[in-house]
Structure formats: structure tokens, C-alpha cells
Amino acid sequence: MSEHCQEPLCCRPDDLHCALAIHTQKITDSCRDKDCIEDIRVYLSRESQQTLENASGAKVRTADLIYTSVNVTPVGFHPNHYCIDLVFYYRIIADAMVGTCRPATLYGLAMFPKRAILCGEVSGTHIFTNECSKLDICEDHMPRAVVEALDPMVLSTRIGCGCSPDPCAQQIPESILNIFDEELVTCGEHKKLYVTLGQFSIIRLERPAQLVVPVLDYSIPTKQCCDNPGCSENPCDLFARIPFPTAEFAPTGCDQEQNCGCGCDHSSDCDSNCSCERNRERSSDRSCERSCERTT
């Protein structure tokens, strides 16, 4: 099976057992991004909005990414490329300062739309599986978009004023609204909460592919299952499997590069009493004196 190994240094033919055909997802194109989302609107719950109206200031405590909607459409002016429209939904928790009392907690929702264009290649196949219902296409010739994102970083918070309607408020899915216990206020408020977030994300397009790969061995678990996370067993047996911490008994903390090699440590006495250069100078002076005495 050596013909299937392109890197003989990483894949030795002796370790190969056979070749295996697998079905996987091929990444056709991908990109990464670091977005600074400035002053996005936070739609607060009704009780939180009433608290904000009487607050003198507010600060966002956390922002959690709860969902991302993904929509893929072909680009008409660029063959083999697809437009990926994303909307990130964040659960916002903030603290509002009202008088001299302790901060009151605010809950709300923030949204961030994003668009990317990637190459998805061309495929004219239609894929049907037994998981599809009758007359229902599970997958067509469109590639699959995958988004990987981290929870955002909260950069700043501010309170703004205004009564103008927000068109984005009409696009909140019902499933997102059901996450919150109270109804979100989208219009009619005098004070609005805005937050600036930093978002890291990776976007890629995938297509199904069938590959033949070399096989070292089948993946069989070696760890035994237990009934509970603690795996009730003899604590002495558990302690016996812990390696002896030899490094913890070795003195550390000194910079070894500062040691002059004369046997002294890194204290101030090393420069005054144990200088390598001074020892060399003294030894050369003594040898010179000895040679002069022999000459006389």
C-alpha cells in the first residue's frame, strides 16, 4: 500500500494494513476574520428597559453567542463562488447604576450581520438519503457552509437616546425570542443600550467527497467506561498511577545563563569575589612574575 503514502517519513508502509474508502467533507475554501463591531443595539427585556430609563450609566458584563444563522446563495457575476450571509445572535448581560443602590442586572439581545464570498466549486449532483421524507431533497448541488466562532469580547458600552424605529428588530426569529423569559422592547424607548464587541470567526465551504486513505488500524477505545464521573475505586490505586513529581523537588528560580562557571551562584558576591575575568588576569600576572624570576 506504499503507493497511497505521499510522505514516506510520516507514513511507513510497514505500518499500513489496508486501504479504506471513506466519505468525508472536502473544504473547498475558507477564511478567518476579526471583526470589531461598534455600537450595536441591545434589545432589552421590558423590565430591564424600565431600569435603564432611570439609570445614570450601564456597563455590559458578558456577551454570549447563542446562535448563528447561515444562508448560502450563488453569486451570479462570479462562477463557482457563493455568498454566505450570517447573523450572529448574542445574549447580553449588563449592570445599570441606579442612584446609590447596588447595580441592577439587565438582560437583552444583540445581533450582528456578516457576509462572506467563498469558492464552493461546481457540482451537478443531487444527494438523496433514506433520512429524507418523500419528495424532499436533503441536499442539492449547493455546498455546505460551516461557521466556527468564539464568544465575543466586550470592548465598550454606552447609552444613547432616540425614538427612531429599528428595521433589524423586525427580523428577529421567533425561536430566538423564546429564549428570553420576557418580551423584548424594540420600539418606544427613550434610552438605548449600545455595545462594542470583538468577534473572532472562521468560515468555510464544504462538499462531500469519497477518498481512499491508508489505514494504520481501526480506532478502538482503550479507556474503560465507569458508572459515574468519579469512577469509585480504591483511592490508593488511583494514587499509584500518578507519576512521582521529581521536578517539584529540584530547586529552581535562578537564571542559569548568569552563572560565570566559577562555582558561585547568582548573588552579588559573584561579581565581586568570583569574577572569571579577574581570575584570568590574576593567573596571567602570576605566570608573568614566575617567568621573570627564572630569567633573573
What DSSP element (H or E) covers 292? helix 276-295
Q: Output phi, psi for 105, to 5 deg.
A: -85, 135
pLDDT tier at 47 (50, 70, 90 boundaries)? very high
Q: What pLDDT is recorded for position 28?
A: 93
Decide if pLDDT at 265 tops 90.
no
Report domain extents, the chain. Answer: 23-214
**3-state DSSP call for residue 176?**
helix
Decide if pLDDT at 168 tops 70.
no
Task: Give me the mean pLDDT over the 234-255 stretch.
Answer: 77
How far apart, in whole angstroms, are the C-alpha atoms of residue 213 and residue 21?
Answer: 6
Q: How many CA atoms lie within 13 A of 280 on its CB side?
A: 6
Comparison of pLDDT for 138 and 197, the residue scoring more = 197
Burial class (CB in 10 A: 0-12, 13-18, 19+), 64: exposed
Amino acid at 104: A
- SS3 helix, strand, coil % of the chain, rounded to 5? 20, 40, 40
Q: What pLDDT is recorded for position 241?
A: 79
**In 3D, which of 124, 99, 121, 96 has the Cα closest to residue 108?**
96
pLDDT tier at 171 (50, 70, 90 boundaries)? confident
Q: What pLDDT is recorded for position 232?
A: 59
pLDDT tier at 274 (50, 70, 90 boundaries)? very low
pLDDT tier at 1 (50, 70, 90 boundaries)? very low
Q: What pLDDT is recorded for position 214?
A: 82
Q: What pLDDT is recorded for position 13?
A: 62
Q: What pLDDT is recorded for position 289?
A: 52
For the chain, the residue count is 296
* Range of 7-21, 150-164, 166-180, 241-255 with top mean pLDDT: 150-164
Q: Output phi, psi for 286, to 5 deg.
A: -65, -40
Tens of pLDDT, residue by residue over 82-137, are 999 999 999 999 999 987 778 899 999 999 999 999 998 877 777 777 766 555 55
Q: What pLDDT is recorded for position 32?
A: 94
Q: pTM to 2 decimals? A: 0.68
